[in-house]
Structure 1
């Protein structure tokens, strides 16, 4: 859908998979941590993807496979449902950008500052998004998992980094939402999990289904 001087709204959805635990001796944290950004241009495409998520959840196929989670999740949604979702979304234009952190290569001192690590990995993923297009507004939605202070620090850091790539006349809004409130956060959750599994378990079953949509897939500190 066109707005203003003819540009398209740019919608970004950001989620992670894995954890930022670093105690590999006493606990069993993940070896990798992935942040994925789903980018959609235009309100029409944004709504179309959200409608696909809602339609999948209404299907008996999803209801039979669902446990206690009333949403699509990378870790709990069956492969059958994921494939069905992707088939239904195949006509929608969207792109994926990800960065996966090899946690065992993180310096001990830096491992104590998880917020800083998260924000930096998010920035690395976002910097591959093409902000030079004639977008009249950028709306970023992030899975709400941070404290109030963490949200402030994330917003401040990301806005500073992204605005260097944006036309000064293009507004940037960041929203932190529960995935139950945002169907497209559920979509990016599934994609983030697929990329994470590629590195954590060398499991390509789900990744191979959607890999054509991945524009950037990098490992940091490999």
Structure 2
């Protein structure tokens, strides 16, 4: 029996850094891409990458392009424009995004003292916020990029799974889930959520919504979790 249509996929990307000083980013956020199979446009994304590789054969005078995957921070503006053109053509009903945003100076120092705890606690809570918004009642699979903090990796994963299991149990849901941590090159969806995340981050961090405007139609919610906090614990 094929249950692909009934399984929800959630892809996760984080933006910002964990430098809680005036030298760090102003925001830290988790951004999510929500989709069901079949995953449309993946062949178009793959073909675009191969097209870029083939240009090396004919443009001998230009810099050789060795593109294993798409990454918004690294890709040049021409690649960005084309990639956003592709992902902005998704069916709005089949693709959704969610953003969980923290203004870093407002984060209580006790909540960020241990970086791996800060990361996992906020990732776990942001997933639960998204599941609430979705009124989840079906099996789901979460795929993140490799965890950014290598220290105590198994404990981080254990804490994350414990939080999700507790959420499902507390709500009496008869559903199953799984979570994987893959490199972004393995999944077009991780590359798509990277681009969506980059666009949202630029809106908040730099006041640039030019790329955000291309994907905003997919956004379920942008939750600025610190908006009601008045205290800044350092200047930024």
TM band (smaller chain): 0.7 to 0.9
Cα offset, 1:19, TM superposition: 1.0
| Inter-partner Cα distance in structure 2 for 1:210 and 1:34 | 17
| Inter-partner Cα distance in structure 2 for 1:156 and 1:179 | 24
| Inter-partner Cα distance in structure 2 for 1:14 and 1:166 | 25
Cα offset, 1:53, TM superposition: 3.2
Once structures 1 and 2 are overlaid, which stretch shifts more, 145-154 or 156-165?
Answer: 156-165
Q: Which whole-Å deviations, capped at 9, do the CAs of 1:90-118 have from their partners, x for residues lacking one?
A: 13421000111100001122221223332
| Inter-partner Cα distance in structure 2 for 1:159 and 1:63 | 48
Alignment of 1:28-177 (within 5 A): 28-41=23-36, 43-44=37-38, 46=39, 48-60=40-52, 70-89=68-87, 90-92=89-91, 93-122=94-123, 123-124=125-126, 126-129=128-131, 130-132=133-135, 135=138, 137-145=139-147, 146=149, 147-162=153-168, 164=170, 167-168=173-174, 170-177=175-182
TM-score by length of 1: 0.81
Give the secondary structure class of the aligned counterpart of 1:22.
coil
Larger-gyration structure (1/2)? 2
* Unmatched runs of 5 consecutive residues or more in structure 2: 57-62, 228-236
Aligned residues: 212
Question: CA, structure 1 residues 118+67, in 2 after alignment: closer, same or farther (shift >3 Å)?
Answer: farther
| Inter-partner Cα distance in structure 2 for 1:131 and 1:163 | 17
* Unmatched runs of 5 consecutive residues or more in structure 1: none
RMSD between superposed Cα atoms in Å? 2.9
- 2:16–2:27 Cα contact (<8 Å) kept: yes
| Inter-partner Cα distance in structure 2 for 1:162 and 1:55 | 39
Cα offset, 1:154, TM superposition: 2.1
Larger strand proportion of the pair = 1
| Inter-partner Cα distance in structure 2 for 1:154 and 1:134 | 20
Cα offset, 1:163, TM superposition: 5.2
Give the secondary structure class of the aligned counterpart of 1:150.
helix
| Inter-partner Cα distance in structure 2 for 1:75 and 1:63 | 22
Give the secondary structure class of the aligned counterpart of 1:117.
helix
